[in-house]
Amino acid sequence: MTGKVYIVGAGPGDTGLLTIKGLKALQLSDVVVYDFHINAQILNYLKNEAEFIYAGKRGGHHEMTQEEINRILVEKAKEGKIVCRLKGGDPFVFGRGGEEAEVLAREGIPFEIIPGISSAIAVPAYAGIPLTHRDLSSLFTVITGNEDITKHETRINWKALAELDGTLVFLMAVRNLAAITEQLIRNGKDPDTPAALIRWGTRADQITITGTLRTIPEIIKEKKINPPAIFIIGEVVRLRDVLLWYEKKPLFGQRIVITGKESEAYEKLELLGAEVIDFPTIEITPPEDWTGLDNSLSRLQTYQWIIFTSSSGVRYFMERMLEKGLDVRELKGVKICSVGIKTEEELKKYGILVDLVPEEFRAEGVVEAFKRLYNGNLEGIRILFPRADIAREIIPERIKELGGHVDAPVTYRSIKPETHAKRIKRFLKEGRITMVVFTSGATFNNFIELIGQEAKEFLMDVKIAVIGPVTKKVVESAGLKVSIMPEKATNEALVEAIIKTVQK
């Protein structure tokens, strides 16, 4: 049984530039063979059981040779698997996609090419440089910049390029930049022609350097710019000062790591120019034993209250009720306490309205709310508290002190996921992370375990944002400083606090 190979262009870096068709192909795939220059955030969209194979291919340092990549594609497809060959930019623009497709065709393996947005087009746009303009350029030419210019035989007609009255775009040109400019000037190109080099275009650490054909090699040398970058030559570079937009975004330059599960709440940060990296250090799973919750479900009518402190608690509680043949009618007469907006929203999905929302979204706030409601005496009050396995004991202990009865069955578990931390660790080491967000003590502790011994040292150099005082206490007890904590313990409030802090 033969599978199929999708050769997919992932775009230049911004995950939003991945096409819908490319995303659908990714989500179908059993195996993904990916390169260095893709934004690894894209891999978060794939099904968990997919096999990931890193091909490398960065600036002359290849994890796998092209022949090895070809062999892997053929082997996996012949095993009957759906394979995605995920490449930066567009696979047919200096991406060797044509070579890989030829091999598949010879082997009789079905394949599809899904174009991506080439860095040749997207990166100049993010730098405010249009490749064409009615008054300045009627054509653009894309040229490889990594050809050995010193060799006697070359496929590049330097004289023709120098004479073109349009925009020249060189990809992979950093190491040969001085030789490229020398060849163009020698063949008649005006040395004062505007030029720009853009490194890590469409990403949070995008750098744009402008000059002229004559001056830019020395500028690049002084600033010690390394690949990946693209080189643009032409009058359109002059428009950058007018058309610059991406680097003006209020959160441009911020690369923020989110360690919780609810990353959707942080989309506003991306809209304002930040690059948000999902790195969940906590995974929510069912309990190992349902006995405790099942016993409580069998006597629901004996409780006056149910306390939900998370949307996960609501979801697992309701799903277990349905599995046991129960529905919301069993909750008639039982009052509901909800901690947090997200928890309340999750309850509404099941048609359940909330009777009590504590002012303070943490365990202490729940206890205070019940103290006020019953004037400090909970004698005869029976409460069900479906909880996580690692939840603090504040609620059960304090309620019992006030005379109440609490059953607190484990309803879900918070565990450390099996995840690869190599990329995040490298980014931290290189100083490319500006902020890390922790939404619970567990996300912090798991982060430290996943990153390793150097984690605390790395975190000394970045801003740390937390969702509430309990998490703050855990972080500070490790000897680290918390820079951001909102007054209200919600993801939305945390996002606003981050925006306010960064924009100061």
Q: Which of 14, 35, 90, 407 is an active site residue?
A: 35
| Annotated active-site residue in 57, 76, 261, 472 | 57
57 noted as active-site residue: yes
* Token pair of 165 as six digits: 């009255």
Same domain, 133 and 237: yes
Q: Are residues 125 and 241 in the same domain?
A: yes
Other CB atoms within a 10 A radius of the CB of residue 362 amount to: 20
**Torsion angle of the four alpha carbons 367, 372, 376, 380, in this order, in degrees rounded to the nearest 10:** -80
Residues 221 and 260 in one domain: no
Please check whether residues 406 and 421 belong to one and the same domain: no
Is 24 annotated in the active site?
no
259 and 295 share a domain?
no
* CB 282, CB 442: distance < 8 Å: yes
More confident residue, 435 or 263: 435
Residue 48 CA to residue 305 CA, distance in Å, equals 38
**Which has more confidence, 334 or 61?**
334
Q: Does one domain contain both 96 and 188? A: no
CA distance 348 to 213: 62
Same-domain check for residues 352 and 315: yes
Please say if 342 is a catalytic residue. Answer: no
Give the per-residue pLDDT at 400: 94
Q: Are residues 422 and 495 in the same domain?
A: yes
Task: Quick: pLDDT tens for 35-86.
Answer: 888 888 888 777 667 888 988 755 555 578 899 999 999 999 999 999 999 9
| Residues 98 and 125 placed together within one structural domain of the fold | no
- Domain-ending residue, one of 397, 415, 433: 415
The CATH number that applies at residue 435 is 3.40.50.10090
Domain span at residue 189?
121-246
Residue 82: its pLDDT value, please?
95
Confidence category of residue 148, pLDDT binned at 50, 70, 90? low
Residues 125, 218, single domain; the answer is yes
Q: What is the mean pLDDT of the chain?
A: 91
CATH no. for residue 82? 3.40.1010.10
Within this chain, do residues 359 and 385 fall inside the same structural domain, yes or no?
A: yes
Instruction: Kindly report the pTM of this predicted structure.
Output: 0.82
If asked whether residues 18 and 80 sit together in one domain, one would say yes
- Residue 492 confidence (pLDDT): 87
Tens of pLDDT, residues 399-454: 999 999 999 999 999 888 877 788 889 899 999 999 999 988 889 999 999 998 89
Q: Tell me, what's the pLDDT at 489?
A: 78
Angle at 308 between CA 305 and CA 309, to 5 degrees: 140
Give the active site residue among 87, 90, 172, 189.
172
Q: For the domain that residue 169 is a member of, what is the CATH number?
A: 3.30.950.10
The total domain count for the chain is 4
Residues in the chain: 504
